[in-house]
Copies of this chain bind each other. A is one copy, B any other.
Amino acid sequence: MSKKVCVVLAGCGVYDGAEIYESVFTLLALEKAGANVTCVAPDVPQMHVINHATGEVIEGEGRNVFLESSRVARGNITPIADVKGGDFDALVLPGGFGVAKNLSTIAVDGAGASVNPDVQRLILEANSAGKVIGAICIAPTVVAKVLGEKKVELTIGNDEGFADLIRSTGAIHCLASVTDIVVDESNRVVSTPAYMLGEKMADVQAGIDKLIAKVLEMA
């Protein structure tokens, strides 16, 4: 029977939303493996809107995380409030700054950040039901914020600032290269650095392909 996987999106664009390439590679790997995918996102305002050509904030413009995420999902998207972690065999969080800006306040508050209540609930529900969690790029920081007390083992590559943030939650940071995955068998969490380290699309895809294969094997 095909595995049911929930993909949590954070908008549409590396600097203020979900990282587009990571999200597409995640969905492609899941489709190829025959998984039954549900994309979800919170119905909340983005922290801000970034001009992706300059990197600057566009003042006075607002966007909604659910609507922007629906672009990445080609319309096939469900409000995160409508799903439970136990409904799926696995949960996967692609990266992008939206994870640190819209799914949590990590971009602003660092180690003192809060996590969107539905994202926190979904991760806790999935973990307590023994489901598998896959976290890509910056997303392991959010998993650490929620599951840090369980000493979950995670990677964000080799960025010392974010590794410190992960360690401050009680979680354990493991160094990894862009095409590697880190597997925490006991907490059932798999992570890969993706664009925390990646320069080539093919390398990012290779790491995500490994992550999805491992998540589905464990699920």
A205 located at the interface, meaning its Cβ lies under 8 Å from any Cβ of chain B in the complex: yes
By size class, the interface of chain A is: 20 to 34
**Copies of this chain assembled into the complex:** 2
A201 located at the interface, meaning its Cβ lies under 8 Å from any Cβ of chain B in the complex: yes
A residues sitting closer than 8 Å to B (CB atoms) are 12-15, 17, 20-21, 24, 27-28, 31-32, 51-53, 55, 66-67, 70-75, 77, 200-202, 205
30 contacts between A and B (CB under 8 A): A12-B12, A12-B13, A12-B71, A13-B71, A14-B75, A15-B75, A17-B71, A20-B20, A20-B24, A20-B71, A20-B74, A21-B24, A21-B28, A21-B74, A27-B201, A28-B205, A31-B200, A31-B201, A32-B202, A51-B67, A51-B70, A52-B67, A52-B70, A52-B71, A52-B73, A53-B66, A53-B70, A53-B75, A53-B77, A55-B75
